[in-house]
Amino acid sequence: MAYSGTIKSYNAAKGAGTITPQKGDTALPFNKSDLQNQAQEPREGQPYSYETREVNGGNVHATSMHPKQNHAPQGQKAQARQQQG
Protein backbone atom coordinates (compact mmCIF):
# COMPACT_ATOMS: atom_id res chain seq x y z
CA MET A 1 0.00 0.00 0.00
CA ALA A 2 1.37 3.44 -0.94
CA TYR A 3 1.43 6.28 1.58
CA SER A 4 2.23 9.97 1.32
CA GLY A 5 4.42 12.04 3.59
CA THR A 6 6.88 14.90 3.87
CA ILE A 7 10.62 14.65 4.39
CA LYS A 8 11.32 15.75 7.96
CA SER A 9 15.09 15.39 7.80
CA TYR A 10 17.87 13.88 5.71
CA ASN A 11 21.57 13.55 6.54
CA ALA A 12 23.51 12.96 3.32
CA ALA A 13 26.68 12.01 5.22
CA LYS A 14 24.86 9.19 7.01
CA GLY A 15 22.51 8.35 4.11
CA ALA A 16 19.54 8.34 6.49
CA GLY A 17 16.50 10.45 7.27
CA THR A 18 12.92 10.54 8.45
CA ILE A 19 9.58 11.11 6.75
CA THR A 20 6.42 12.36 8.47
CA PRO A 21 3.27 10.58 7.24
CA GLN A 22 0.54 12.78 5.79
CA LYS A 23 -1.84 11.39 8.41
CA GLY A 24 0.35 12.91 11.14
CA ASP A 25 1.72 9.73 12.70
CA THR A 26 5.22 9.38 14.13
CA ALA A 27 8.03 10.06 11.65
CA LEU A 28 9.42 6.93 10.00
CA PRO A 29 13.12 6.34 9.39
CA PHE A 30 14.54 5.53 5.96
CA ASN A 31 17.95 4.92 4.40
CA LYS A 32 19.34 6.06 1.08
CA SER A 33 18.85 2.50 -0.21
CA ASP A 34 15.08 3.01 0.31
CA LEU A 35 15.01 5.79 -2.30
CA GLN A 36 14.02 4.64 -5.78
CA ASN A 37 16.24 7.37 -7.29
CA GLN A 38 19.33 7.32 -5.10
CA ALA A 39 21.05 9.99 -7.20
CA GLN A 40 18.51 12.59 -6.03
CA GLU A 41 18.78 13.60 -2.38
CA PRO A 42 15.49 14.38 -0.63
CA ARG A 43 15.00 17.89 0.76
CA GLU A 44 13.27 18.86 3.99
CA GLY A 45 9.60 19.59 3.33
CA GLN A 46 9.54 17.68 0.02
CA PRO A 47 6.53 15.38 -0.43
CA TYR A 48 7.25 11.72 -1.14
CA SER A 49 5.22 8.57 -1.75
CA TYR A 50 6.42 5.47 0.04
CA GLU A 51 5.60 1.99 1.27
CA THR A 52 6.43 0.52 4.65
CA ARG A 53 8.25 -2.57 5.89
CA GLU A 54 8.86 -4.04 9.32
CA VAL A 55 12.43 -4.51 10.52
CA ASN A 56 14.09 -5.50 13.78
CA GLY A 57 11.11 -7.15 15.41
CA GLY A 58 8.32 -4.84 14.31
CA ASN A 59 9.89 -1.39 13.83
CA VAL A 60 8.34 0.26 10.75
CA HIS A 61 10.56 1.91 8.13
CA ALA A 62 9.67 3.77 4.92
CA THR A 63 10.80 2.07 1.69
CA SER A 64 10.26 2.28 -2.09
CA MET A 65 10.29 6.07 -1.78
CA HIS A 66 9.87 8.44 -4.70
CA PRO A 67 9.21 12.18 -4.85
CA LYS A 68 5.71 13.29 -5.73
CA GLN A 69 5.44 14.96 -9.12
CA ASN A 70 4.63 18.62 -9.79
CA HIS A 71 5.93 19.87 -6.46
CA ALA A 72 7.72 23.17 -5.99
CA PRO A 73 8.47 24.75 -2.62
CA GLN A 74 6.21 27.66 -1.66
CA GLY A 75 8.77 30.31 -2.64
CA GLN A 76 9.11 28.86 -6.13
CA LYS A 77 5.32 28.75 -6.56
CA ALA A 78 5.03 32.42 -5.64
CA GLN A 79 7.81 33.31 -8.09
CA ALA A 80 6.09 31.38 -10.87
CA ARG A 81 2.80 33.21 -10.24
CA GLN A 82 4.57 36.59 -10.30
CA GLN A 83 6.31 35.75 -13.56
CA GLN A 84 3.03 34.67 -15.17
CA GLY A 85 1.46 38.00 -14.59
With contact defined as beta carbons under 8 Å apart, do 12 and 31 qualify? no
Predicted local confidence at residue 6, as pLDDT: 96
With contact defined as beta carbons under 8 Å apart, do 83 and 75 qualify? no
16-21, strands of its sheet edge to edge: 28-31, 16-21, 3-11, 47-55, 59-67
The reported pTM is: 0.77
Predicted local confidence at residue 70, as pLDDT: 63
Given CATH 3.40.640.10, say whether it is the number of domain 3-84.
no
Cα–Cα distance, 70 to 7 (Å, whole number)? 16
Predicted local confidence at residue 85, as pLDDT: 53
Per-residue pLDDT of the chain (85 residues; tens, 9 = 90+): 899 999 999 999 999 999 999 987 899 999 999 999 988 899 999 999 999 999 988 899 999 999 997 655 554 554 544 555 5
Predicted local confidence at residue 17, as pLDDT: 97
Cα–Cα distance, 31 to 43 (Å, whole number)? 14
